[in-house]
Chain A
Amino acid sequence: GQQLNQSPQSMFIQEGEDVSMNCTSSSIFNTWLWYKQDPGEGPVLLIALYKAGELTSNGRLTAQFGITRKDSFLNISASIPSDVGIYFCAGLMGAGSYQLTFGKGTKLSVIP
């Protein structure tokens, strides 16, 4: 099946720093999604991207849908302690695909 390569696997950063993580795939996706998972909870949607080249922001978060449709990145600016968690990229192949493929996650730790 499709695979998403997400990096880095984990990050330790100081509060206030900017963060960047990305996902790449050998397959083309029509939709890229970024989720955050807090301990003991389910993944929560942060940003959805539907068009190649699309750049979308949600507060301090910015994500882009790569032109080749095989990659996406997520940036977090001016990190705060509550940004701690696991961030997942996910891709959908197309209409009626019914199958969201997830990256393996980036575990973010923020040092106050």
Chain B
Amino acid sequence: DTAVSQTPKYLVTQMGNDKSIKCEQNLGHDTMYWYKQDSKKFLKIMFSYNNKELIINETVPNRFSPKSPDKAHLNLHINSLELGDSAVYFCASSSTGNSPLHFGNGTRLTVT
């Protein structure tokens, strides 16, 4: 039943490691996103994909690489993790680029 699901919910890892977060939506939406929420709860867009094509790539370090194998999935791979990458990462989807977003429940990444 879950509309936007992301795994894992919690991820604890050491600096320098590489990790991936997966996201799937079963809403039939064409557009998917990754947002980062910092410790002050500010939500900032990282990437947006429309029909597997990258639309938005904000000023995110190139250690972050999104991959969209099909329009229902958008994964986020992070290389050489740093302490400052600790945050909650939210996947979201929308039917078009001008429609409300539906969010997953987040992945809390802690880098030690």
Contact = CB atoms under 8 A, between A and B. Distances in A.
A98 B101 CA distance: 10
Interface residues of A, number: 27
B98 A42 contact: no
Interface in B15-47: 31, 33, 40-45
B45 A42 contact: no
Nearest to A48: B100
Interface stretch (A57-65, A67-75, A76-84, A86-94): A86-94
B48 A104 contact: no
B105 A88 contact: no
A92 to B, nearest CB: 6
Contacts of B105: 40-42
Contacts of B40: 104
Interface string B54-94: 01100000000000000000000000000000000010100
Contacts of A105: 41-42
Most buried by B among A30, A48, A99: A99
A35 B103 CA distance: 10
Contacts, number: 61
Given A31-B98, A40-B105, A42-B106, A99 B48 contact: yes
Contacts of A43: 43, 90, 101, 103
B97 A98 contact: yes
Contacts of B90: 42-43
Given A41-B105, A104-B40, A104-B42, A95 B97 contact: yes
CB-CB nearest 4 A-B residue pairs: A42-B103, A98-B97, A102-B43, A96-B97
Interface of B: 4, 31, 33, 40-45, 48, 50, 55-56, 90, 92, 96-98, 100-106
19 contacts: A31-B98, A33-B100, A35-B103, A40-B105, A41-B106, A42-B103, A43-B43, A44-B103, A48-B100, A86-B41, A90-B101, A92-B98, A96-B96, A96-B97, A98-B50, A100-B45, A104-B40, A105-B42, A107-B41
